[in-house]
C-alpha cells in the first residue's frame, strides 16, 4: 500500500471528526428510543477506513448493523439497536484516535512552510540521483530570491516509497511552489491529452507526415502554455523590476516538475499547512477536474 504516514494521519483526523455523531434518548410508550443524527458523515468515515484498510473487523461489524443499512442521515432506533450501534461507534472512534496519536508520535517533526515530495519509483542510485537533482534545480532556481526568501532544505526522509520532507523557508516560497506544481500538473494533463490524440490519429492510418505535423503543433502549443503559466506566476510572485530570466527559470521549473510528475512523483503541502495553503496545491488524484488558473482568471474577468 503506497501511502505515507502523514496521509494516514490526515485521513484519520477526518475520520475522527466524522465519527462524532450525535444522539439522544427519548422515553416513549414503547420504551426508550435512540435518535441518532449524522449518519451520512459516519458512512463517509467507514468508507475512508475501508480505503485505508484500517480497523477492518470493527468496520465489517458496523456495516452489518440496521442503523448503517438504513441509508438515512437520521434514524430512530430501538434501545437494543441504538445502544449497540453507539457502543460500537465509540469503540471505533477510540481506536481511530489511538492509531492517529501513535502515527503522530512516530512521524518526523515538520516545520511550517514545508512540502512533502514522493519520488517516482527508482530502480537504482543513478535514477535516484537524477530525480533528486531535477527536484533541486526546479526548487532552488526560483526560491533563492530576495523577495521570495526561500530555501530547499530536506528535513527528513521516510521509508517505503521515498518521501522527502522539504522546508522551503517562507510563506512566499510555499505559495510560489504551490503555483508551480499546479501549473506542472496542468502541463502533465495536456501531455496526456496529446498522447491520446496521437493514438487516435494513428488508429485512422493517417500518413506519417500528417502525424509529424500534429506532433510539432502540439509541441508548440505546449511550449506556449508553459510560457503563459510562467508569466502568470511571475506576475503573482515577483516584481516587474525582476530580471526577465526569472520567467525562464519558472518555465524550466514547470517543465522539470511536469516530467517527474509524469514518472510518478507527487508534491503535497505539509501536514501542518492550513487549508488556505493546502488549496494552492493540486489534488494528484483529480487530474480530470484540474484546470489552469489562467482559465479561472479569464472567467472571473468576464464576470
Whether the per-residue pLDDT at 187 is higher than 90: the answer is yes
Three-class SS state of 25: strand
Residue with cell 416513549: 28
pLDDT at 261 (0 to 100): 94
User: What would the grid cell of residue 116 be?
Assistant: 512533502
Residue 246 near residue 232, CB atoms below 8 Å:
no
State the burial class of residue 66 (Cβ atoms within 10 Å of its Cβ: 0-12, 13-18, 19+): middle
Percent of the chain having pLDDT more than 90? 26
Helix (H, G, I), strand (E, B) or coil at 114: strand
23: confidence class by pLDDT, cuts 50, 70, 90: confident
Write out the three cell numbers for 84: 449497540
The vertex-133 CA angle with 192 and 154, nearest 5°, equals 105
Confidence (pLDDT) at 2? 33
Q: With 80 as the cut, is the pLDDT of residue 28 above it? A: no
Query: What is the predicted pLDDT for the residue at 299?
Result: 62
Q: Whole-angstrom Cα distance, residue 299 to residue 303?
A: 6
Confidence of residue 257 (pLDDT cuts 50, 70, 90): very high
Q: Quickly state the pLDDT bin for 34 (edges 50, 70, 90).
A: confident
Residue 122 near residue 20 (C-beta atoms within 8 A): no
Mean pLDDT of 236-260: 88
Share of the chain above pLDDT 70, in %: 87
Residue 202 CA: distances (Å) to CA of 79, 213, 216: 66, 13, 15
The stretch 229-237 carries a mean pLDDT of 92
Q: How many CB atoms lie within 10 A of CB 298?
A: 11
Q: Give the CB-side neighbour count of residue 214, counting CA atoms within 13 A.
A: 16
> What are the helix (H) ranges across 56-207?
56-63, 66-69, 79-106, 125-143, 171-203
pLDDT band at 160 (very low <50, low <70, confident <90, very high): low
Cα atoms in the Cβ-side hemisphere of radius 13 Å centred on 234: 21
Instruction: Give the largest Cα separation in the chain, rounded.
Output: 84
Which residues make Cβ contacts (< 8 Å) with residue 164, sequence separation at least 6? 116, 117, 119, 135, 154, 156, 157
The per-residue pLDDT for range 71-109, each reduced to its tens digit, is 888 888 888 888 888 888 899 999 999 988 887 776 666
Say if residue 296 is exposed, middle or buried (CB neighbours under 10 Å; 0-12, 13-18, 19+). exposed
In 144-274, alpha helices (H): 171-203, 208-237, 245-263
| pLDDT digit string, tens, across residues 124-135 | 888 889 999 999
Question: Measured between alpha carbons, how far is residue 45 from residues 15, 49, 161, 214, 224 in Å?
Answer: 5, 6, 26, 47, 43
Tell me the pLDDT of the chain averaged across its residues: 84
CB 177 within 8 A of CB 139: yes
Residue 162: count of CB within 10 angstroms of its CB:
18
User: What is the 8-class DSSP label of residue 205?
Assistant: T
Amino acid at each position: 500500500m503506497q501511502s505515507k504516514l502523514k496521509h494516514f494521519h490526515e485521513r484519520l483526523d477526518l475520520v475522527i471528526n466524522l465519527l462524532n455523531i450525535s444522539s439522544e434518548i427519548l422515553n416513549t410508550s414503547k420504551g426508550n428510543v435512540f435518535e441518532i443524527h449524522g449518519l451520512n458523515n459516519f458512512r463517509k468515515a467507514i468508507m475512508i477506513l475501508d480505503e485505508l484498510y484500517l480497523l477492518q473487523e470493527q468496520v465489517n461489524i458496523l456495516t452489518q448493523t440496521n442503523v448503517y443499512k438504513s441509508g438515512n442521515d437520521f434514524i430512530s432506533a430501538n434501545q437494543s439497536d441504538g445502544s449497540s450501534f453507539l457502543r460500537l461507534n465509540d469503540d471505533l472512534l477510540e481506536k481511530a484516535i489511538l492509531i492517529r496519536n501513535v502515527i503522530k508520535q512516530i512521524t518526523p517533526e515538520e516545520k511550517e512552510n514545508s512540502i512533502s515530495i514522493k519520488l517516482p519509483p527508482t530502480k537504482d542510485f543513478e535514477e535516484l540521483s537524477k530525480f533528486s537533482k531535477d527536484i533541486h534545480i526546479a526548487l532552488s532556481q526560483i526560491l533563492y530570491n530576495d523577495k521570495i526568501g526561500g530555501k530547499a532544505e530536506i528535513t527528513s526522509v521516510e521509508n517505503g516509497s521515498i518521501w522527502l520532507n522539504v522546508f522551503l523557508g517562507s510563506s512566499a516560497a510555499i505559495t510560489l511552489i504551490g503555483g508551480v506544481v499546479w501549473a506542472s500538473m496542468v502541463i502533465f494533463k495536456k501531455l496526456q491529452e496529446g498522447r491520446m490524440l496521437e493514438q487516435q490519429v494513428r488508429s485512422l492510418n493517417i500518413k506519417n507526415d500528417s502525424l509529424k505535423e500534429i506532433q510539432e503543433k502540439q509541441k508548440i502549443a505546449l511550449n506556449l502554455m508553459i510560457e503563459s503559466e510562467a508569466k502568470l506566476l511571475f506576475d503573482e510572485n515577483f516584481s516587474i523590476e525582476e530580471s526577465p530570466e526569472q520567467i525562464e527559470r519558472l518555465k524550466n521549473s514547470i517543465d522539470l516538475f511536469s516530467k517527474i510528475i509524469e514518472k510518478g512523483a507527487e508534491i503535497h503541502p505539509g501536514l501542518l499547512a492550513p487549508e488556505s495553503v493546502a488549496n494552492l496545491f493540486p489534488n494528484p488524484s483529480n487530474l480530470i477536474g484540474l484546470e489552469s488558473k489562467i482559465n479561472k482568471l479569464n472567467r472571473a474577468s468576464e464576470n
